[in-house]
Structure 1
C-alpha cells in the first residue's frame, strides 16, 4: 500500500454526485469493495475532474481532489490498483 485516505468519510461518497451511472466511477459500490486498475484510473481521473467543477461543498471538493491525486498516481504506476472499501 502506497497511500490511504480515511479522513473524508461521507465526503468521499460518490453516490451523492451526479455520475449518471456511467464511466468507471459509476460502478463504485458504496457498500461493497471496488477495485480500479491503472487502465481504468485514467478515464476515472478525467471523470473526477468534471465532478470537482460542479462540486456542491468545499469539503466534498477537497475529498474529490484527494481522490483525483490517488487516481493520477494509480494511472501512472504500472501494475497498481485503487481500492474503494465500502461500508
Structure 2
C-alpha cells in the first residue's frame, strides 16, 4: 500500500490517466509507503483534512483544503516513527504549500 502525490494546475481528469498528464505540475512517487503508514495513524474520518485521505482510493484537495491541511503537519510529524516517514511528510508539506499558493490547483492523493 502506498500513496502517491500529484499537484495539478486544474482539476485532473481522474478517469483518464493520459488527459490528467496535461494538468500535472509536479509529482511525488518515491515516499508512498511511508506516507501511507504515517497517515494511517490518523483516525479515519476524524478531525482535520488529512484524516480523510483514503489509502485505497483517490482523494483530491483543492487549494483551500490544502491550506487547511498545512495546519495539521506539526501534529503529523509527531506521529512519524522513522526518517522515511519524516521525509514523506516533508514532501507532502512542500506539495500542500504549492497547492495552497496556486489558485485553481488540486493535490491528488493516489491510493493503491
Equivalent-residue separation in structure 2 for 1:62 and 1:2 (angstroms): 20
Q: Where in structure 2 are there 5+ consecutive unaligned residues? A: 1-23
Equivalent-residue separation in structure 2 for 1:31 and 1:18 (angstroms): 15
* C-alpha distance after superposition, 1:59-84 (max 9, x if no partner): 10000000000000000100000000
Runs of 4+ in 1 over 4 A off after TM superposition: none
Provide the TM-score with structure 1 as the length reference: 0.90
How many correspondences in the alignment?
Answer: 86
Match of 1:7 among 15, 23, 30: 30
Provide the TM-score with structure 2 as the length reference: 0.71
Q: Where in structure 1 are there 5+ consecutive unaligned residues? A: none
Structure (1 or 2) with the greater strand fraction: 2
Equivalent-residue separation in structure 2 for 1:54 and 1:82 (angstroms): 22
